[in-house]
Amino acid sequence: MAKQIVRIVLTGGPAAGKTTLISRILKEFKSEDGWKVITIPETATELISGFGIGPFPNCMSMEDFQYFVIDDQLHKEKLALRAAEAVPEEKVLIVYDRAVLDDKAYISDEQFTLTLAHFGKTEEELLKGYDAVLHLVTCAKGAEYAYNYGNAARYEDIEGARALDDRTLRAWKNHHALYVIDNSVDFEDKINRAVAQIYRIIGESAPEPGKKKYLVHMPDCTELSRKYNALPIEMMQTYLFSSDPEVERRIRQQSCLGEQLFFYTTKRVGEDGTRWVTERPISEKDYVSYLMEADLSLRSVRKLKFRFAYAGHRMELDVYPYDKDNAILFIFGAEPYELPPEIEVIREVTGDPYYKNRALADRQSL
């Protein structure tokens, strides 16, 4: 079977949700399902934070800065494609946090063409190097209340963010597979729609929306693994101290088949009950550093998560070390559900605060 390599660009204006979407992609397209996800971080941010160069006074112009950005982007994209061809997995997803056409939003069309010519490239040639582009609309358009979430020092004001979003969309308008993901419902729905679009791009069916949660008697996990290929994923979630009572901060470590991932998450609940959850992948070094900020009033939540499919539905079984008799089962998709014969439901606990992770961190019992 020929290797499947899919190259997807995530773009959009400031505060659009790209980083949270990348975290979701890393969890959605898993190694145990045969996927390898290669992510290319945003180049301009790396150059500014790592090298200390940028379009600053007494440093360089925006046009000169784009030479650095494009040079680095082209190099990383070439390496990512070579890595995709080298890894043993037959299904590889390359995810670009912005790509070369994004640079067109910051300089004139003429400057952009001249800069590409310096590297022997044309816009038409570059567009053929990406299979699809997802433009996530800035939350400055339709979700203004959340614009500064996660970055209180954001450079652009709301009007500037809207203008940059428009310029970025214009820069990619000639791509044959450009999809716009707006803020028409809420942030969770936005991320779900983006993930569903990625499934369509790779030619697979997206999981149906909806999720139910059940307290169940502890099944034979060895039998689940044998019959349904339910691989265990080790997880530990730690809550961090927050000076803002409206903001919950947490970090999570998970490992499966020798692969370790680390995430940092913030959750806000507005006065109207609106939830806004943002997440980003972090390094192991950052994870260890965040552990120093742990909320000592709460214990870390440790669990084994078994993911499997049964009767057309994706299922997840959470097994906690402090309970030998019970577990938590999640079923994704629309009802009706059919359960494996190994699982016996005690009762539904969807939305029950008693069974939320933060309550479990405090109580350490089901």
The values of phi and psi at residue 358, to 5°, are: -65, -40
The predicted structure's pLDDT at residue 153: 44
Residues 246 and 354 in one domain: yes
Residues 256 and 304 in one domain: yes
Residue 303 CA to chain centroid, in angstroms? 21
Q: What percent of the chain has pLDDT over 70?
A: 96
The predicted structure's pLDDT at residue 275: 76
- Give residue for tokens 């729609």: 193
**Are 262 and 197 contacting, i.e. CB atoms less than 8 angstroms apart?**
no
Residues 281 and 299 in one domain: yes
298-332 confidence digits (pLDDT tens): 999 999 999 999 998 999 999 999 999 999 999 99
Residues 156 and 99 in one domain: yes
Residues 42 and 105 in one domain: yes
* Domain-ending residue, one of 184, 202, 220: 202
**Are 327 and 245 contacting, i.e. CB atoms less than 8 angstroms apart?**
no
Task: Report angle CA 349, 352, 354 to the nearest 5 degrees.
Answer: 105
Residues 49 and 136 in one domain: yes
pLDDT classification of 272: cutoffs 50, 70, 90: low
Average pLDDT over the chain, rounded to an integer: 92
Residues 155 and 95 in one domain: yes
The whole-angstrom separation of Cα 192 and Cα 207 is 10
Write the single-letter amino acid at 216: V
136-165 confidence digits (pLDDT tens): 999 999 888 777 655 544 567 889 999 999
The whole-angstrom separation of Cα 265 and Cα 63 is 35
Q: What percent of the chain has pLDDT over 90?
A: 75
Report the pLDDT averaged over residues 44-66.
91
CATH number at residue 22: 3.40.50.300
* Domain-ending residue, one of 202, 227, 244: 202
The predicted structure's pLDDT at residue 225: 93
The predicted structure's pLDDT at residue 237: 96
**Are 320 and 360 contacting, i.e. CB atoms less than 8 angstroms apart?**
yes
Residue 217 neighbours by CB distance under 10 Å: 12
**In total, how many domains does the chain have?**
2
* Domain-ending residue, one of 146, 174, 202: 202
The predicted structure's pLDDT at residue 271: 62
SS (H, E, C) the chain: CCCEEEEEEEEECCCCCHHHHHHHHHHHCCHHHCEEEEEECCHHHHHHHHHCCCCCCCCCCHHHHHHHHHHHHHHHHHHHHHHHHHCCCCEEEEEEECCHHHHHHCCCHHHHHHHHHHCCCCHHHHHCCCCEEEEECCCCCCCHHHCCCCCCCCCCCHHHHHHHHHHHHHHCCCCCCEEEECCCCCHHHHHHHHHHHHHHHHCCCCCCCCEEEEEEECCCHHHHHHHHCCEEEEEEEEEECCCCCCEEEEEEEEEECCEEEEEEEEEEECCCCCEEEEEEECCHHHHHHHHCCECCCCCCEEEEEEEEEECCEEEEEEECCCCCCEEEEEEECCCCCCCCCCCCEEEECCCCHHHCHHHHHHHCCC
Q: Which residue has the higher pLDDT, 209 or 13?
A: 13
Residues 147 and 245 in one domain: no
Residues 280 and 216 in one domain: yes
The predicted structure's pLDDT at residue 300: 94
Residue 216 belongs to what domain range? 211-363
CATH number at residue 219: 2.40.320.10
Residues 18 and 138 in one domain: yes
Write the single-letter amino acid at 197: Q
Report the pLDDT averaged over residues 54-77.
94
Residue 259 scores a pLDDT above 90: no
Residues 244 and 190 in one domain: no
Report the pLDDT averaged over residues 9-23.
94
CA separation, residue 85 to residues 73, 96, 201 (Å): 19, 17, 20
Report the pLDDT averaged over residues 169-175.
97
Residue 272 CA to chain centroid, in angstroms? 26
Report the pLDDT averaged over residues 171-181.
97
Of these ranges, 182-191, 232-241, 251-260, 333-342, the one predicted with the greatest mean pLDDT is 232-241
CA separation, residue 132 to residues 20, 166, 172, 199, 200 (Å): 19, 18, 10, 12, 11
What does the block give as tokens for 223?
């039998």
Residue 254 scores a pLDDT above 90: yes
Strands of the sheet containing 91-97, edge to edge, are 35-40, 91-97, 4-12, 132-136, 178-181
Q: Which residue has the higher pLDDT, 269 or 35?
A: 35
Residues 151 and 251 in one domain: no
**Are 305 and 233 contacting, i.e. CB atoms less than 8 angstroms apart?**
yes
Count of CA atoms in the C-beta half-sphere (13 A) of 161: 22
Q: Which residues pair with 330 in a beta bridge?
A: 213, 316
Q: Which residues pair with 55 in a beta bridge?
A: none
198-213 confidence digits (pLDDT tens): 999 999 888 777 899 9
98-129 confidence digits (pLDDT tens): 999 999 999 999 999 999 999 999 999 999 99
